[in-house]
């Protein structure tokens, strides 16, 4: 863990699930919603566009690819305030999920446009190219593969491979045996696994159908795939630093931690 990035790296920009939070009790883990920057040399991929996107780098050598896992607002609210979109002469590629019939690139106009937002994406000074995400995608040296997991309305899980290293991103996922086996295949041998651990065992019981998971399921996936690092993500808005620190201690596992906003993992 460091603040410098190497040739292939992950920067955590937002870890919070459902809604951004702020206050001294969230200082350590952070309050911004889902956004992760993956860089490989000149190329960058942004996983989700939650409020953490506001802190993403604006000047990048190649147009970044922003990949939306699904349409829920906590994964989308940072987009309108990503400063790069307002810069003349820039291009940003945005990939939206093709999970549900009837929801595609035009769905963005529902959120970005009056009365919910003053501007449409086409009104920004920079060019935003919106694409529908396909099964796989290449961004420079990065190869991205996807699958749809168990979440209300669906949600894409991503694996990004660069050379012999890879990162898997499993957000907004509720355990269910069949899709879990497919996740094991998607994430097999990944170096870093990001996994939805919004709930602990008890709160998961009372939130069945909400589409989220637990640290223990994350460890199960880590063991099944041989991943060396597990970063638990999508922290519940009610999980303060104290709660997360305590859960981390209880887990007491090497290579397992709750992701902290601002941390960089070099691969």
In the complex, which residues of this chain contact Zn ion (CB under 5 A)? 17, 72, 74, 172
Nearest residue (CB) to Zn ion, 17 versus 218:
17
Question: C-alpha angle 158/160/163, rounded to 5°?
Answer: 160
Q: Nearer Cβ to Zn ion, position 39 or 151?
A: 151
- Nearest approach, Cβ of residue 171 and Zn ion (Å): 6
- Of 236 and 263, which has the nearer Cβ to Zn ion? 236
Closer Cβ to Zn ion, 196 or 263, answer by number:
196
- Which residue number has the CB closest to Zn ion? 72
Q: CB nearer to Zn ion: give 150 or 225.
A: 150
Residue 84 corresponds to which tokens in the numbers above?
């790069």
Angle at 133 (CA atoms; ends 128, 135), nearest 5 degrees: 155
Q: Do β-strands 65-67 and 91-96 pair in parallel, antiparallel, or remain unpaired?
A: parallel
CB of 210 to Zn ion, least distance (A): 9
Is the CB of residue 63 less than 8 Å from the CB of residue 120? no
CA–CA distances in Å: residue 28 to residues 102, 231, 232, 233, 243: 40, 15, 14, 14, 11
* 193-227 burial: b if 16+ Cβ within 10 Å, else e: bbbbbbbbeeebeeeeebbbbbbebbbbbbeebeb
Phi, psi at residue 13, to the nearest 5°? -105, -25
CB 212 → Zn ion: shortest distance, Å?
A: 8
Burial bucket for residue 250 (CB in 10 Å: 0-12, 13-18, 19+): exposed
CB of 80 to Zn ion, least distance (A): 17
> How far apart are CB 199 and Zn ion at their closest, in Å?
13
Is the CB of 9 or the CB of 179 nearer to Zn ion?
A: 179
Q: Of 97, 95, 96, 88, which Cα lies nearest the Cα of 127?
A: 88
Q: How far is the CB of 18 from Zn ion (least distance, A)?
A: 6
């Amino acid at each position: 863990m460091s603040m410098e990035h190497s040739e292939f790296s992950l920067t955590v920009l937002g870890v919070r699930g459902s809604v951004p939070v702020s206050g001294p009790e969230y200082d350590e883990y952070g309050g911004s919603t889902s956004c992760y920057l993956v860089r490989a040399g000149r190329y960058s991929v942004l996983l989700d566009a939650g409020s953490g996107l506001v802190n993403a780098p604006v000047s990048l050598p190649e147009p970044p690819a922003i990949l939306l896992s699904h349409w829920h607002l906590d994964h989308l609210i940072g987009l309108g305030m990503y400063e790069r979109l307002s810069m003349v002469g820039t291009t940003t590629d945005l990939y939206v999920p093709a999970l549900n019939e009837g929801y595609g690139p035009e769905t963005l106009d529902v959120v970005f446009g009056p009365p919910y937002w003053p501007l449409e994406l086409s009104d920004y000074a920079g060019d935003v190219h919106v694409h529908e995400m396909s099964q796989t995608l290449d961004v420079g040296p990065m190869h991205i593969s996807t699958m749809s997991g168990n979440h209300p309305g669906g949600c894409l899980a991503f694996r990004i491979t660069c050379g012999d290293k890879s990162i898997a991103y499993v957000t907004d996922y509720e355990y269910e045996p069949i899709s879990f086996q497919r996740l094991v295949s998607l994430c097999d041998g990944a170096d870093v696994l990001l996994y939805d651990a919004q709930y602990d065992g008890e709160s998961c019981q009372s939130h069945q159908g909400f589409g989220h998971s637990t640290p223990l399921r994350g460890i199960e996936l880590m063991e099944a795939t041989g991943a060396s690092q597990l970063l638990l993500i999508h922290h519940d808005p009610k999980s303060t630093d104290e709660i997360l620190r305590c859960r981390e201690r209880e887990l007491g596992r090497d290579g397992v931690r709750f992701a902290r906003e601002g941390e960089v993992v070099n691969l």
